[in-house]
Amino acid sequence: MANNDDHSSKNQHSPNSVFESSATFRMALSQLESVATLLKIDLGILQRLSVPKRAMIVSVPVRMDDGSTQVFNGYRVQHSLTSGPSKGGLRYHHKVDLGEVAALSMWMSWKCGIMNLPFGGAKGGINCDPASLSMGEKERLTRRFTEEVLSIIGPRMDVMAPDMGTDEQTMAWIMDTYSMKVGYACPEIVTGKPIELGGCLGRREATGRGVTVCILEALKELGIKPSNATAVVQGFGNVGAITCNELAINGIKVIAISDRYGAIHDPKGIDIAALQEFVSKGNMLKDFPKASPINPEEMLMLNCTVLVPAALERVIHLENAPHLKCKILAEAANGPTTPEADEIINNSDIYVIPDILCNAGGVTVSYFEWVQDIQQLLWSEEQVNSKLYELMINAFRRVRSLALEKKISMRLAALSLGVEKIAREKIKRGLFP
Ligand code: GLU
């Protein structure tokens, strides 16, 4: 990906240089550039879309349980503030860096654009290994990070949500810290909170449900009955586990699952409920007795109907892309496919459901949560799910028809809808001053 500097070479000021050392950011940029060419986006607008609006790097000192002090790097990047507050998750992962967070914030913008949500994109991250931190350490880390980024967050400015390595409890600490600062309870500062604090029913399941809606729609188009379909899922965190569950509920056999420690396989279908119970007792997924272990990299190349990467970025690459044997690639993770792999897949028969469409259910229900918090209303889970279904199907069909009409890939169609919405808004608002 070192050769995607076309746009930045046109750009005299090269404002992206702080982000471009990241392969993930270069990947996001190259996607934007391909869609900009297709849509013939004005160069000035393209330059503005190529750089995050605001990025903050903070050092987060934390008193550890053993009395020592550890300093973590924290990031919050707001890609766009054009359509409303910026919105996006906060990630705790040992490999988080500024460029990755910036790329993820850009993808959030396109995602909110496709779904027509009144948000720009943002993302945050703290460079830590959450599995090695105690609850107390995580709480102090989260509260101190919130304090450090206080000047750029707010219910009308930037609203965080869970992402990899964070959860409802993390959001509760952010909500409490922010509320203590402003002097009143402010649930609308975060989404993905516990229900007791103004969280939304069905938010935790929303991403996995949205992924499943897309998969079922693609299966329908391909004329494959769910009961004849098999799935391979990479990742068993919130998104991966819920997706497995939803697929199983809809009759799709999940034949292999992996997490960061290993992978399991059973061609007859894995009992998801039993696996969930096994893992919830503190056991490792790879030790699940009712399936056989398999190499996680080989697992991606299993013969299956649907392959669901639901973990990290850039896991489908030049080496494994030619060997994929799935009919549908449902990108539940953000950025799982490198542009080089994308090219290979585009020349195959694989039906791609691109990330910014496939996993948009999460931020969609986050939007429902924010709206309910602001209005002090409570929707039922049925209301949440039916509205989520309506918005996901609608977005899926808009992306699909554009892809067919313009004879472009699903990824390019999804990016076009997301990018074009924000570009249009920027043109209408004009450039200040
Ligand atoms: N972290 C999720 C994502 O990547 C959800 C973001 C949100 O709900 O704001 O889409």
pLDDT tens track for 339-392: 999 999 999 999 999 999 999 999 999 999 999 999 999 999 999 999 999 999
Q: Give strand pairing partners of 377.
A: none
**Which class does domain 204-359 fall in?**
alpha beta
Question: What's the gap in Å between 73 CA and the centre of ligand 1?
Answer: 21
- DSSP 8-class letter at 190: B
Q: Evaluate if residue 96 carries a pLDDT over 60.
A: yes
> What's the pLDDT at 25?
96
Domain-by-domain residue ranges, the chain? 52-185, 204-359
CATH of 52-185, one of 1.10.10.10, 3.40.50.10860, 3.40.710.10, 3.90.580.10: 3.40.50.10860
User: Is the pTM of the predicted complex or chain greater than 0.85?
Assistant: yes
Q: To the nearest whole percent, how much of the chain has pLDDT over 90?
A: 95
> What's the pLDDT at 16?
65
Q: Is 123 a catalytic residue?
A: yes
Lookup: tokens for 27 = 């990947």
Mutate-to-test residue for ligand 1 from 108, 356, 367, highest number of ligand atoms within 8 A of CB: 108
Q: 3-state SS of the chain: helix, strand, coil percent to 5?
A: 50, 20, 30
Active-site pick, 87, 123, 253, 327? 123
The atom number, within ligand 1, closest to the CA of 90 reads 1
Contact in structure between 332 and 211 (CB atoms under 8 Å): yes
Q: Give strand pairing partners of 254.
A: 231
Beta-strand relationship, 69-78 and 120-127 = antiparallel
Instruction: List ligand 1's pocket residues with C-beta within 6 A.
Output: 87-89, 161, 163, 191-192, 334, 359, 362-363, 366
Contact in structure between 122 and 149 (CB atoms under 8 Å): no
Please tell me the residue having the least CA distance from ligand 1 atom 4.
89
Between CA 49 and CA 302 the distance in angstroms is 38
Q: What is the pLDDT of residues 149-186, one digit of tens each?
A: 999 999 999 999 999 999 999 999 999 999 999 999 99
